[in-house]
Amino acid sequence: MLRAFIAIQLSDEMKRQIGSVQAELKREVSGSGRGGKAVKIGWTQPEGIHLTLKFLGDIQETQVEAMREILRKAAAPARPFTLEARGLGAFPNPRAPRVIWLGLHGSNDDMAELQRLQAAVEDGVASLGFPKEPRTFTPHLTLARIRDRVEAGALELVLTAQQNRVVGKFAASSVELIKSELRPSGAVYTTLVEVPFGAGV
């Protein structure tokens, strides 16, 4: 069994910029817990941040080739597009954050291209028995996960102050099936399949 997901890779420059933002946030949130209690946050390693289109969980090794075909079909009509990483937010909300994320934006055409690609991936893997995500796809990059519940509002000011922060842009030109191995030192990611946009057109 392989633990896997389908995603778009970020540029090295974007990962570097995200690392700078995380370092700044770490300084800002240290000690932001009330009553002297520090906020416990698990920061995502910048090199491991992707634009996830579909988290699959465990898949059989024999399904990799079927996934390759699904990605080919999804990527065939796609064209490269550019996304801007802008604005910090939190799931479920900034007052009681569990996940800190960085928003992704683009032109109407580029966002439509991303939404079409994600829907094609979602429909494709559903044909293999992977349940569809009931929530609407919200493009974002996960920067951190809150490990302990934070008193409401402890991080709200930090996130609100950064809600329009522009981090940078990156170009998307391919989609990947990525294996995730959880190790004591952190997750290790390996690309199993990469399909460029417009392949086979």
Catalytic residue among 9, 17, 39, 50: 50
Q: How far apart are CA 119 and CA 155, in angstroms?
A: 33
Q: Is 50 a catalytic residue?
A: yes
Q: Are 116 and 172 in contact (CB under 8 A)?
A: no
pLDDT score of 46: 93
Among positive and negative, which fits the CA dihedral 91, 169, 25, 178? positive
Tell me the fold of 2-196.
Cyclic Phosphodiesterase; Chain: A, (3.90.1140)
Q: How far apart are CA 1 and CA 12, in angstroms?
A: 30
For 168-196, write each residue's pLDDT tens digit. Answer: 999 999 999 999 998 887 789 999 999 99
Low-confidence ranges of the chain (pLDDT < 70): 31-39, 149-154, 199-201
Catalytic residue among 140, 158, 178, 195: 140
Look at residue 66 and give its three-state secondary structure. Answer: helix
pLDDT score of 36: 46
Q: How far apart are CA 59 and CA 200, in angstroms?
A: 26
Helix (H) or strand (E) holding 57, with range, is strand 51-59
Question: Of the candidates 121, 88, 128, which has an alpha carbon nearest to the alpha carbon of residue 8?
Answer: 121
pLDDT score of 148: 76
